[in-house]
């Protein structure tokens, strides 16, 4: 998952759906400051190509990012010179400092395979918060909202490249298996690649328990840009 071929077209395909990393970052920043008005430092966990982090950098005095997939991190490094970016796993990272806010966006936490893994990630993120700091996590679907055999299709175009994406999702126990096929056409020709994404269907109660046990009790709330909602916790 999240190899070099995907990193090259990742933002392009989601922007074709109308996704705005800037607008999402602005709304999340408002949610953070409604709970911690003086927040001026932020860590983006699973920062991907740095699209959210670039927007957060205009809203917070100090930002840093953490990413496990090297191809995605390489894109972020090129995009954000001077921003501290760390290679690491959300389950067990230690950056040696704390932040006013920590965010984990675009369902990245859903890629963890078990409840203990998810709980470890929430603990690690909460541990990097100042007292009273805010943790925002965008989950994957809850089990009762998963649609079996769901198919999605996207077509993105730029002046130099056209990308088609088709996905098919099935349920295997508590896991979503999403097979995603891409066709990419540019001046070098047409190439295809496939990614298999495995995302865990954690429950609302499991997330809330993970936050509470990490000393960061949370609420679940709807937001305008994702039907999956977000969890917002504050470190005690």
Q: For the domain that residue 113 is a member of, what is the CATH number?
A: 3.40.50.150
Are the C-beta atoms of residues 113 and 9 closer than 8 Å to each other? no
Domain identity same for 119 and 32: yes
Domain identity same for 156 and 85: no
Mean pLDDT of 168-192: 97
Mean pLDDT of 26-49: 98
Q: Give the model confidence (pLDDT) of 194-232 as tens digits.
A: 999 999 999 999 999 999 999 999 999 999 889 999 999
**φ, ψ of residue 167 in degrees (nearest 5):** -125, 150
Verdict on whether the full-model pTM lies above 0.95: yes
- The whole domain housing 70 covers 4-142+202-234
Domain identity same for 190 and 213: no
- Summarize the chain as % helix, strand, coil (round to 5): 30, 35, 30
Burial classification of residue 171, based on how many CB atoms lie within 10 Å of its CB (0-12 exposed, 13-18 middle, 19 or more buried): middle
Domain identity same for 91 and 22: yes
Domain identity same for 60 and 177: no
């Amino acid at each position: 998952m999240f190899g070099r071929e995907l990193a090259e077209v990742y933002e392009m395909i989601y922007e074709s759906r109308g996704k705005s990393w800037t607008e999402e970052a602005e709304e999340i920043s408002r949610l953070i400051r409604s709970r911690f008005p003086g927040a001026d430092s932020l860590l983006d966990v699973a920062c991907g190509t740095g699209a959210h982090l670039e927007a957060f950098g205009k809203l917070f005095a100090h930002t840093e990012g953490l990413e496990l997939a090297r191809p995605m991190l390489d894109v972020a490094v090129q995009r954000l010179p001077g921003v501290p970016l760390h290679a690491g796993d959300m389950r067990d990272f230690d950056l040696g400092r704390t932040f006013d806010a920590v965010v984990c966006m675009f369902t990245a936490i859903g890629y963890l395979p078990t409840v203990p893994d998810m709980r470890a990630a929430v603990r690690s993120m909460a541990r990097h918060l100042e007292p009273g700091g805010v943790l925002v996590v965008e989950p994957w679907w809850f089990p009762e909202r998963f649609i079996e055999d769901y198919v999605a299709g996207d077509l993105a175009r730029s002046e130099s490249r056209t990308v088609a994406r088709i996905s098919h999702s099935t349920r295997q126990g508590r896991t979503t298996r999403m097979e995603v096929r891409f066709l990419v056409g540019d001046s070098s020709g047409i190439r295809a690649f496939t990614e298999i994404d495995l995302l865990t269907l954690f429950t609302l109660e499991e997330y809330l328990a993970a936050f509470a046990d990490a000393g960061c009790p949370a609420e679940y709330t709807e937001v305008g840009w994702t039907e999956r909602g977000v969890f917002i916790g504050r470190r005690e």
